Chain A
């Protein structure tokens, strides 16, 4: 079965960087891309971007361009999200998600990683 397992919670100071991992299993890694979505406390969902599992091509939301990098490690079927120059409003749960097998939409989600930015 498809599984996305994310790394554990992080606490960072303003200005620092964070790298969150998403280890995938249960499918052929290079046949699906992975999206990253975040959710600040009590707020809605915010799409951050997408990375291809086939060739590493990325598409970042304009808001995060220049501050985010998504990468893949095909040897371990793992996707990484790095966010730099952290601010307090980056405090959120970060989710990785994969497209649904039957069509569009994000049908498989990781458990989420809480990133807290605090001095």
Chain B
């Protein structure tokens, strides 16, 4: 079973700053099977990115995904107030990473 490790655990940033979140797999993951989600307290997760780099419907273009093999990245180019949340990567149809909390500095 592939294990996904996200880092950092917590990212403290200010609105307008750039956020870079990492997801590292214990073995190679096909690009088409890597997704990112955002979750806010009390809500179900929301799909942001599928296939490593394809934004889901209505996701703003400040969110972007990249990577291949065992290293994947979610980038938020300029943080908006509504972006402070927890982010998870997932190998589609399998395990999730442990999450990265993006908090207001």
Contact = CB atoms under 8 A, between A and B. Distances in A.
A62 B1 contact: yes
Interface size on A, as a range, is 20 to 34
B44 A104 contact: no
A95 interface: yes
B95 A103 contact: no
A72 B96 CA distance: 24
B45 interface: yes
A47 interface: yes
B1 A106 contact: no
Contacts, number: 75
Interface of B: 1, 32-33, 35, 37, 39, 44-47, 49-51, 54, 56-57, 86, 88, 90, 92-99
A33 to B, nearest CB: 9
Given A95-B44, A111-B44, A104 B96 contact: no
B1 A104 contact: no
Given A45-B37, A47-B96, A105-B37, 6 more contacts: A44-B99, A45-B88, A45-B99, A61-B94, A99-B92, A104-B32
A47 B1 contact: no
Interface of A: 35, 37, 44-47, 50, 59, 61-62, 95, 97, 99-100, 102-107, 109-112
A78 to B, nearest CB: 18
A107 to B, nearest CB: 5
A111 B42 CA distance: 10
Contacts of A103: 32, 50-51, 54
A45 B94 CA distance: 11
Given A44-B96, A111-B44, A105 B56 contact: yes
Contacts of A105: 35, 37, 47, 49-51, 56, 90, 92
A45 B45 contact: yes
Nearest to B86: A44
Contacts of A62: 1
B98 A44 contact: yes
A112 B26 CA distance: 29
A7 to B, nearest CB: 15
